[in-house]
Structure formats: structure tokens, C-alpha cells
Amino acid sequence: MNELKVRVLTENDWETLCSWWLEWPDWKVHPSKEMLPLNGLGGFMVENNDVPIVAGFLYLTNSNIAWLEWIISDPNYKGINKKQAIELLIISAENAAKNQGKEVIFSVSRNKTLLKMHKELGYTIDKDPSYEITKNIKN
């Protein structure tokens, strides 16, 4: 029987997440713990029968917006519940943001599957592409 469950990330998940980022060919870089909310613990992992499938991070700001980012899945997982696992991750992040009093949840993606899934869940997808703009300002 397939049983999906969502839980908060733990320190034990870090090596798994890093291996997933390295295995996906489109990921050029992955974030360091210091770039992530709660030093890499501010997110969720969805599992199927205790097997990790997908994870993502929820940035809680000092405004009424939350930011869902760095969604990553096990590139080798071929189970039937991967789509449902991603949906559970997104919905769980939404609920966590609502529980923190946030009014809007924001995410950035270029992945067509993630874009379609967000649209199915009621997100507005801007028709004009945007670009992530980053600059390393550390000396």
C-alpha cells in the first residue's frame, strides 16, 4: 500500500537533498545551508512508505508573503505517487504559510511539470518569463 506523508526536514535529510541536486542535470548549483530557511531545516519532505520523494523550502518573511523555493525530487524515484507527493508538498507549504498568518505564497520555477502543477492548484502563472537575478555579495 502506498502511503504519502509530509514531515519537517531534519539534519539527516541534508545528504539526500545534496545528492538529488547533483543528480538532476538542470541544476547548475544548489544552495548552501546558510542560504536556506532555518539553516536547511525550514522546509518539508514528502515520503512514500518512509522513502523520501520530494522536498522544498518555505521562507517566512516579515511581511505577509511566504516564498516556496528549491523544490527538488529524487530523480531515480519511479513510484506512482510522485505527482501526488509534489502536490502534497505544495499544499503543506501553503498550509504552513497560512498558519503563520501569510496572505500570499510565491514561487519561482522554469520546470514545466512544476508550473503545470502550480496552475492546477490555483496559482497564477505569469505569461511573460522572468529571470532570477542574483549576485554574490560576500567578500
- For residue 19, give the CATH number of its domain: 3.40.630.30
Decide if 129 is inside a domain: no
In a 3-state reduction of DSSP, which class is residue 98?
Answer: helix
Decide if 138 is inside a domain: no
Contact in structure between 55 and 71 (CB atoms under 8 Å): yes
48-63 residue pLDDT tens: 989 999 999 999 999 9
3-60 residue pLDDT tens: 899 999 999 999 999 999 999 887 777 889 999 999 999 999 999 989 999 999 999 9
Q: What is the DSSP letter of 132?
A: -
In a 3-state reduction of DSSP, which class is residue 85?
Answer: helix
Q: Which domain range does residue 92 map to?
A: 4-120
Number of domains in the chain: 1
Decide if 74 is inside a domain: yes
Decide if 43 is inside a domain: yes
Q: What is the DSSP letter of 43?
A: E
Decide if 95 is inside a domain: yes
pLDDT band at 1 (very low <50, low <70, confident <90, very high): low
Decide if 128 is inside a domain: no
Q: Nearest to residue 60, comparing CAs of 124, 91, 105, 92?
A: 105
Rg (CA), the chain: 15
In a 3-state reduction of DSSP, which class is residue 59?
Answer: strand
Distance between CA atoms of 120 and 108, rounded to whole angstroms?
16
Decide if 137 is inside a domain: no
Give me the residues paired with residue 34 across strands. Answer: none
Decide if 130 is inside a domain: no
Q: What is the pLDDT of residue 109?
A: 81
Contact in structure between 102 and 68 (CB atoms under 8 Å): no
Q: What is the pLDDT of residue 36?
A: 96
